[in-house]
C-alpha cells in the first residue's frame, strides 16, 4: 500500500513549498510591477506555480531512492505520506498545465517559460550532481524575467541588467539552498558545485552572488538609485557580512543559510520594486 500512498499534505511538502511560493510570488510581483493586466498576471502566476510544482514533485520523485538511503525522514516519500509514483504522475500533470497556462500568454513568452522549466528539470535529472549545477538556476531565473516581460502587450524586452541580476540571484539561491543538505547529498553521490566548494566557500560564493545581484538591481537603472534602493543595498551588504562571519566562526550553524536567504529576500523585493525599469525602452525612429 505504501507505493500507492497519496496524501494531500504529502504532495504539499514534496512540492518544496518554500521555493515554490517564493518563485511564484516573485513572478507575480514582477508581472504586476511591469504593468501586466490582471488577466496576464493570473496567467503568469498560474504558469509559474504549476511549473514550480512540477519541479518540486519531480525532484522528490527522482531522489526517492537516495532519500531513503540516508533516512531523510523529513521527505514525504520516506515518511510514507506520498509515493514516488504519485509524485511522478503529479509532476507530469503539472507540466501539461504549465504548458497550457504559459502559452496562453503568447507563443514567445510561453516558450521562454517552458525552457526555464526544462532547465530546472535538467537540474533534477542530472546537472545537480555536476560542477555546473549552478547553470540551470542562472538560466531559469533569467528566463523567468524574460517570460514576465515578453507576456506584456507589444512584446517588450527586459533590460540587460535585469537579466543579469536574475541570473546572479538564481546562482546565489542555488548555493544557499543546498547548504542544509550538503552532507546528505554527499552520502548519496551528489557532488554539485556547492559540494565541491565545501560549506564555508559555498556560503561565501552564495553571499557574493546575492550581493552582486542586489548591486546590479540598485545601480543598473539609468536613473540615480532611490533612497529605498540604497537602504536595501546597504542592508544586503550588512547581512552578507554577518553571514560570512558566522560561516567562518561556526560553519555548521544554520545562520549562514538564514542570512543568505535574507539577502536573497532583499534582492527579490528590490527587483520587484524596479517594476517598469526592468523593461527596455525602445527609442523612437523618425522617418
CATH number of the domain enclosing 231: 1.20.120.1780
Return the pLDDT at 281.
Answer: 64
222 domain residue, yes or no: yes
Q: In this predicted structure, what is the pLDDT of residue 2?
A: 44
Residue 163 lies in a domain: yes
Q: Is residue 246 part of a domain?
A: yes
Tens-digit pLDDT profile for residues 210-243: 999 999 999 999 899 999 999 999 999 999 999 9
Quick check: is 209 in a domain? Answer: yes
Q: Has residue 194 been placed in a domain?
A: yes
Please indicate, yes or no, if residue 276 is contained in any of the structural domains: yes
Residues 144 and 109: their CA atoms lie apart, in Å, by 9
- What digits encode the pLDDT tens for the residues 253-282? 999 999 999 999 999 999 999 999 999 865
* pLDDT tens-digit readout, 117-175: 999 999 999 999 999 999 999 999 999 999 999 999 888 999 999 999 999 999 999 99
| In-domain check, residue 232 | yes
Q: Among residues 175, 121, 110, which one has the least CA distance to residue 143?
A: 110
Instruction: Sort residue 274 into left (φ over 0), alpha (ψ -120 to 50) or beta.
Output: alpha
- Domain-embedded: residue 10: no
pLDDT band at 1 (very low <50, low <70, confident <90, very high): very low
**pLDDT of res. 4:** 57
Per the structure, how many domains does the chain have? 1
Query: Which range of residues forms the domain containing residue 210?
Result: 159-280
Q: SS3 for 192?
A: coil
| pLDDT tens profile 80-92 | 999 999 999 999 9
Q: Which of 234, 226, 130, 120 is nearest to 173 (CA)?
A: 120
pTM check: above 0.85: yes
Amino acid at each position: 500500500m505504501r507505493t500507492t500512498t497519496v496524501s494531500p499534505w504529502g504532495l504539499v511538502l514534496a512540492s518544496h513549498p518554500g521555493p515554490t511560493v517564493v518563485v511564484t510570488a516573485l513572478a507575480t510581483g514582477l508581472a504586476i510591477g511591469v504593468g501586466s493586466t490582471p488577466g496576464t498576471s493570473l496567467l503568469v502566476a498560474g504558469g509559474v506555480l504549476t511549473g514550480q510544482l512540477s519541479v518540486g514533485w519531480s525532484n522528490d520523485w527522482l531522489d526517492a531512492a537516495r532519500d531513503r538511503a540516508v533516512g531523510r525522514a523529513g521527505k514525504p516519500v520516506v515518511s510514507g505520506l506520498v509515493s514516488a509514483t504519485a509524485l511522478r504522475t503529479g509532476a507530469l500533470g503539472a507540466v501539461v498545465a504549465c504548458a497550457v497556462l504559459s502559452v496562453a500568454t503568447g507563443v514567445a513568452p510561453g516558450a521562454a517559460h517552458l525552457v526555464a522549466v526544462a532547465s530546472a528539470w535538467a537540474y533534477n535529472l542530472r546537472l545537480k550532481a555536476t560542477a555546473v549545477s549552478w547553470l540551470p538556476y542562472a538560466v531559469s531565473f533569467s528566463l523567468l524575467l524574460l517570460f514576465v516581460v515578453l507576456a506584456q502587450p507589444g512584446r517588450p524586452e527586459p533590460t540587460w541588467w535585469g537579466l543579469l541580476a536574475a541570473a546572479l540571484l538564481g546562482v546565489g539561491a542555488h548555493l544557499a539552498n543546498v547548504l542544509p543538505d550538503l552532507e546528505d547529498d554527499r552520502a548519496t553521490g551528489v557532488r554539485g558545485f556547492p559540494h565541491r566548494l565545501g560549506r564555508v566557500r559555498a556560503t561565501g560564493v552564495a553571499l557574493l552572488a546575492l550581493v552582486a545581484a542586489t548591486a546590479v538591481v540598485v545601480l543598473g537603472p539609468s536613473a540615480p538609485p532611490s533612497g529605498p534602493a540604497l537602504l536595501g543595498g546597504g542592508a544586503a551588504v550588512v547581512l552578507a557580512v554577518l553571514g560570512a562571519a558566522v560561516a567562518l566562526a561556526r560553519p555548521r550553524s544554520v545562520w549562514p543559510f538564514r542570512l543568505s536567504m535574507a539577502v536573497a529576500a532583499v534582492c527579490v523585493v528590490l527587483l520587484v520594486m524596479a517594476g517598469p525599469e526592468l523593461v527596455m525602452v525602445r527609442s523612437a525612429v523618425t522617418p
